[in-house]
Structure formats: C-alpha cells, structure tokens
Amino acid sequence: MTDRILNQMLRLHIIDSEEVEIYRFGLEGLLLKIVHYISYLLIAVFGGEVLQFLLFFAAFLILRKSAGGYHAKTKTGCYLVSCLTVAAEVISIKFIPTWKYAAETGLILMIAADSIIIRIAPLGNRNRDLDEEEVRYFRKRTLMILAVENLIIFLLVITGQIYWAISVLLAVLCQMVLLISEKINVPF
C-alpha cells in the first residue's frame, strides 16, 4: 500500500525521487498509527466502553507524551502490548466501578502511582535519550499534567462519578507501569 501511494505521489510530481525513503518512513508510521487506533476503537466498541476508552486514551496520551517510558522493541510487540492494554482498560472499566471500595482503593492507587511517576519521570527509552534541558522541561510538564489529571479524578470521585474517574485513574496507572517497565529494562 505504501508503495502504491509513493508511486502515485511520484507520478503526480508531489515528491522527488530522492525523497522517497523519507516519505516511506513517514507513511509507514502513519499507516501503523491508523491500524493501532482502529484496533483500539474496535476493542472499545466490542467491549461497550467507547466513551470511557476515549477519556482513558486522551488522559494517557497527554501524560505519556511528557513522562515517557517503555517502548516495545518491535512493531508487532508494540501493537500486541497496546491492544492488550486497551483490552485490560475496557475490562477494568466494566468491573471496577461496581466494586464496593472502588473509590477509596482508586484514590490510594492514585497516590501510589503519583509517587512513582514523580520519582521516575520523565524517562527516555531505547529509541530516545533525554538531555538535561529536556528532562527539566518534561518533568515540569509531567508534574502539571499529573496534577490536573489527579484533580479530575478527585472531582469525579467526590461527585460520585467513579465510572469516569476510573478511566482517568487507569491512564495514570498505565503510565506508572510503562515508567517502571522502562526503568527495569523489560526485555520485550
């Protein structure tokens, strides 16, 4: 598919032949992201938790971009781990809010995750090291995002919206797991 798009772009003189490899890299990345996002949405649709997934995904992506952390070694590994994470989120959002002590446990888990994220973030990964200036910038940004997400969780819990609070909490917990995974150098 990438070759067809590139050949069409060459034929229409949109790109020069010297730029093909750069565009190939970009197109492959874009197509891979599209496949990921469609897969995530399908998992959420089949799990009946689309809105909660979208809240989770937004909170997670915003925090992830600043905090960094684990990246799988292969595209297949990334895809499988990401889809399993989304499936776990969808399953969790279905069952956790029905648990009698979900709010109390969630707030305790939030504090635990916060302390780990505050201690570890930001982290580069095997694909990207951070210099001192980047560490300062992303640390400040991570702390601001974490504070906002914590406030959202807290407000949702005290207003009785545990169902929605769990989606944001799961994003924070997921980010904590990715930071720990990178820190201990998970091999896959």
Among 11, 31, 47, the domain-final residue is: 47
Judge if 78 and 25 occupy the same domain: no
Same domain as 55, residue 39? no
Q: Which amino acid is at 35?
A: V
Identify whether 84 is part of a domain.
yes
92 and 28 in a common domain: no
Residue 126 is predicted with a pLDDT of 72
Structure tokens, 146: 């974490």
Q: Is 42 part of any domain?
A: yes
Say whether both 31 and 76 belong to one domain.
Answer: no
Instruction: Identify whether 11 is part of a domain.
Output: yes
Q: Which one has a higher pLDDT value, 71 or 179? A: 179
pTM: 0.87
> Which residues, listed in sequence order, are joined to residue 16 by a DSSP beta bridge?
none
Q: What is the count of structural domains for the chain?
A: 2
Region 74-88: mean pLDDT is 91
* pLDDT reported for residue 188: 65
Looking at the DSSP bridge assignments, the partners of residue 123 are 68
**Both tokens of residue 143?**
């702390």
| Contact assessment for residue 71 and residue 126, using Cβ atoms and an 8 Å cutoff | yes
Is the domain of 4 the same as that of 91? no
- For residue 103, the model assigns a pLDDT of 83
Q: Which of 52, 55, 169 is nearest to 104 (CA)?
A: 169
Decide if 188 is inside a domain.
no
Instruction: Output DSSP code: residue 12.
Output: T
102 and 9 share one domain: no
Per the structure, the complete domain to which residue 43 belongs is given by: 1-47
Angle at 14 between CA 13 and CA 18, to 5 degrees: 80
Query: Is 82 a member of any domain?
Result: yes
Residue 148: exposure state from Cβ atoms within 10 A (0-12, 13-18, ≥19): middle
For the stretch 9-65, pLDDT in tens is: 888 888 888 888 888 888 888 999 999 999 999 999 999 999 999 999 999 999 999
Distance CA 135, CA 121 (A): 8
Q: State whether 41 and 74 are in the same domain.
A: no
Question: Is the same domain home to 35 and 13?
Answer: yes
Task: Give the pLDDT score at 167.
Answer: 94
Give domain status of residue 72, yes or no.
Answer: yes
Residues 41 and 53 in one domain: no
In terms of domains, do 73 and 121 share one? yes
Residue 174 and residue 88 in one domain: yes
Query: Are 132 and 20 in contact, with CB atoms under 8 Å apart?
Result: no
Highest-confidence range of 58-72, 89-103, 174-188, by mean pLDDT? 58-72
Tell whether 78 and 148 lie within a shared domain. Answer: yes
- pLDDT attached to residue 8: 83
